[in-house]
Structure 1
Amino acid sequence: MRIGQLAELAGVDTQTVRFYERQGLLPPPDRQENGYRVYTEKHGERLAFIRRCRILDLSLAEIHELQRHQDDPHQPCAAVNALLDEHISHVRSRITALQTLETQLVSLRASCNDGREVETCGILARINEESVRQQ
């Protein structure tokens, strides 16, 4: 199949397919005499795997590592478990940071009611105060 067919099958743009090729996540396809790339079912499977990993917010490096393990299926999966445990820890840290951000935003929002004009906006005033304090 050609790149457009592969991209459509996977639900991605052709540039995404090329990007994953450049990153080494997709094996280089064979080429026809006219230079067109020729993709196989294996490329489609790899691309689907990459997409599922990206949905799980795994980095390209993490995906590459998982693919290395996939390519050597008779090894213990302890390294795969460790990789996912580390990713879970990273996600939990991000959740904590986002919850802190939410608290700050809610507090900021509470500093202004809808009846004010911009020149007396409590939100803008508090942001400016924070800017001055950080300098």
Structure 2
Amino acid sequence: MKIGEISKASGVSSKMIRYYEQIGLIAPARRAESSYRVYSDSDIHTLRFIRGARDLGFSVDQMKILLALWKDRSRASSDVKALALSHIAELERKAAAIKTMTKTLKHLANNCHGDGRPECPIIDGIAEPMREDGPTALSKFGLSHPV
């Protein structure tokens, strides 16, 4: 099976397949005499696994660990669970940061007149650098920059 075929079968783009080979996430494909990459059914399963992990937001390093665990039939499920719980904590941290950013930007947008005047709390809020030693443009609205 050529790269276009495995791409379609796995749901992973040809570009990403070549990238995963380049970074060592997957083994380089066997080459035909024509120098085309040739893939097996096993490669489809591996790429589908990677696609599933990527869809859940796992990093490349985490996917390397997950692949090793997936291939290791003597693995401890506690190792997989620990990685998943760590990833959940990171996703929750990111979700909280996004929620804070959304709240801040909504507040700034609500305080912007949106008229022909040059004064704009959105621009002021973005332009004000984060400061640990004093108020920022956002603090006058009771907000702070998200971390």
Query: Normalising by the residue count of structure 1, what TM-score does the alignment of the two structures yield?
Result: 0.87
The answer to whether the 8 A contact 1:27-1:43 is kept is: no
4+ residue segments displaced more than 4 Å = 131-134
In 2: Cα distance, 1:102 partner to 1:6 partner = 39
**Percent identity over paired residues:** 31
- For the 8 Å contact 2:7–2:13, the answer to whether it is kept is yes
1:71 is aligned to 71
C-alpha distance in structure 1 between counterparts of 2:121 and 2:7, whole Å: 49
Measure the CA separation in 2 of the matches of 1:118 and 1:42.
63
Partner of 2:118, secondary structure, is helix
Q: How far off is 1:125 after superposition?
A: 3.9
State how far apart, in whole Å, the 2-side matches of 1:92 and 1:85 are: 10
Distance 1:43 1:8 in 2: 13
Query: Residue 52 of structure 2: SS of its match in structure 1?
Result: helix
CA distance in 2, matches of 1:91, 1:20: 23
1:132–1:12: structure 2 CA closer, same or farther, 3 Å change rule?
closer
Runs of 5+ unmatched residues, structure 1:
none
- 1:13-39 superposed Cα distances (whole Å, 9 cap, x missing partner): 211110111122222222112211110
Q: Is the partner of 1:120 in helix, strand or coil?
A: coil
* Structure (1/2) with the larger helix percentage: 1
Q: TM-score, normalised by structure 2?
A: 0.80
More displaced, 54-63 or 23-32?
A: 23-32
Match of 1:81 in 2: 81
Question: Which residue matches 1:123?
Answer: 122
Amino acid at match of 1:8: K
How does 1:37-56 map onto structure 2 within 5 Å? 37-56=37-56
- Alpha-carbon RMSD: 1.9
Aligned length: 132
User: In structure 2, how many angstroms separate the alpha carbons of the residues matched to 1:132 and 1:30?
Assistant: 52
